[in-house]
Amino acid sequence: MITKELIIETATTLFMQHGVKTITIDRIVKELRTSKRTIYSHFEDKLTLLRACLDVYNTKVRAENEEVINTSANVIEAMGHLHQKIVRRSHQINPNFFGDIIHYYPGLLHESYKRNGNYAHQQLIYLADAGIKDEIFQKDMDVEVVGKTVLTLLKLLKDTQQFPVTKFSKERLTFGIMVPYLRGLCTSKGIKLLHIQEELFRVQI
């Protein structure tokens, strides 16, 4: 049976593998071996389907992040595991997926992220507060600024125009951008933890 959930799952896989522009409703119909009528009984058009795919994707990422945060021994460990997931996702998803959405559906990514409660920013705020409480981060740290800065740095790690993948590995960028920034936020206790758990930031793909 072709359910709404199966359509979203199949479309998401195709979008992420090939980009959004090249995947049409006809291509999704062919993959599912169904009819356009079945697709349109659940979704008005490709945009509506794409919006649903993004919402499901963000819900999944939010839940994965929360599990990492809840099961990590400290904020440094949590940030290391979160970083691993971010880098692995970037290798699993065709860059055209996000590029096509930004170009052909401006604002759609932000809308979906907002519907999911701006979860990445909120999770970073939570980690920052927890790090201050555990004396891992400096107590005079501006939590709001740090949260926005870390998100910006994570985007910078994925900027292949400024940092071509043939010259800059993810590990090189991590230890050139993210780790030094984290070190600057840490107390002496935090720096020791960062040194002990440094391997978490070396992602093996």
Residue 136 CB partners (closer than 8 Å, separation 6+): 74, 75, 76, 186, 187, 189, 190, 193
- What confidence tier does 205 reach under pLDDT thresholds 50, 70, 90? low
Torsion sign (Cα): 101, 107, 110, 112: negative
Q: Mean per-residue pLDDT for 150-159?
A: 87
Average pLDDT along the chain: 94
* pLDDT for the residue 156: 87
Q: Which domain holds residue 167?
A: 4-201
Is residue 13 pLDDT above 90, yes or no? yes
Residue 125 CB partners (closer than 8 Å, separation 6+): 143, 144, 147
- What confidence tier does 161 reach under pLDDT thresholds 50, 70, 90? confident
* pLDDT for the residue 42: 97
Q: Is this structure's pTM higher than 0.85?
A: yes
- What confidence tier does 204 reach under pLDDT thresholds 50, 70, 90? low
Residue 109 CB partners (closer than 8 Å, separation 6+): 54, 98, 101, 102
Q: Mean per-residue pLDDT for 42-53?
A: 98
Q: Mean per-residue pLDDT for 12-19?
A: 97
Query: What Å distances lie between residue 16 and 12, 54, 89, 109, 146, CA to CA?
Result: 6, 11, 10, 14, 30
Q: What is the CATH number of the domain that holds 68?
A: 1.10.357.10
- What confidence tier does 159 reach under pLDDT thresholds 50, 70, 90? confident
Q: Mean per-residue pLDDT for 76-95?
A: 91
Cβ(187)–Cβ(70) under 8 Å?
A: no
And the tokens for 35?
A: 């009819």
And the tokens for 100?
A: 């096509």
* pLDDT, tens digit (0-9, with 9 covering 90-100), for 88-131: 888 889 989 999 999 999 999 999 999 999 999 999 999 999 99
* Structural domain count, the chain: 1
Cβ(69)–Cβ(127) under 8 Å?
A: yes
* pLDDT for the residue 102: 92
Question: With pLDDT > 90 as the criterion, what percentage of the chain qualifies?
Answer: 82
| Among 191, 184, 156, 193, residue whose Cα is nearest residue 172 | 156
